[in-house]
Amino acid sequence: MSLTDSTVIQLKLAQIEGEESAPSACLTAMRVYHDLLLSMCDRLECIADTLPVPLNTAECQVVTQDLLPSMTASHHFEENRFFRDARLILNGGRALDDAIARLCEEHREDQFFAEEICEEMRSLITGGNQRNAEVTGYMLRGFFGQMRRHIAFERDFLYIPMTQKLVNL
């Protein structure tokens, strides 16, 4: 079994997360998770851009293999560590709690959408019951567009303010 980029990144994240519980380690890990998910979005965008020409099946297989585990690990870390630290560092009160609750719900929706993406990718790889290229491209674009907006919100609303607050301590 070969190590994919996301597997290597996840092993590095395990080291970061296990080394210390300092907020700086949390922010480093969150940045790496965001970068990993944005990389997955870039890969999906490349696939969408190439449709309907013959697929790079190796790339589709890697994306299908890595997407759900990457998202699951990222969401788990966010919900069990990053959001907790955000509450402690930012003291945001009800508005912050509401935003975090919304982000957690978006995680559930993203997870279901990612499962559909993986199912569609498997269909593309096998040449089975695949949708037409326009529908598949639209589906991929909807997913990675939504994912990029979600990450941008987390960075702007949580990550950057947390970083600024820690720098000013």
pLDDT tens, residue by residue, 31-79: 999 999 999 999 999 999 988 777 788 888 899 999 999 999 999 999 9
| Contact yes or no for 22/84 (Cβ under 8 A) | no
Q: Considering only 16-20, 78-82, 119-123, 148-152, which range has the smallest mean pLDDT?
A: 16-20
d(CA 168, CA 46): 40
pLDDT on residue 6: 55
d(CA 75, CA 87): 16
Query: 161 preceded by cis ω (within 30°)?
Result: no
Domain 5-167 fold is Four Helix Bundle (Hemerythrin (Met), subunit A) (1.20.120)
**Helix segments in the chain, DSSP class H:** 5-19, 23-50, 57-77, 83-90, 93-126, 133-154, 160-167
Residue 169 has pLDDT above 90, yes or no: no
pLDDT on residue 10: 55
Q: What are the tokens at 154?
A: 């987390």
d(CA 31, CA 148): 14
3-state class of 22 per DSSP?
coil
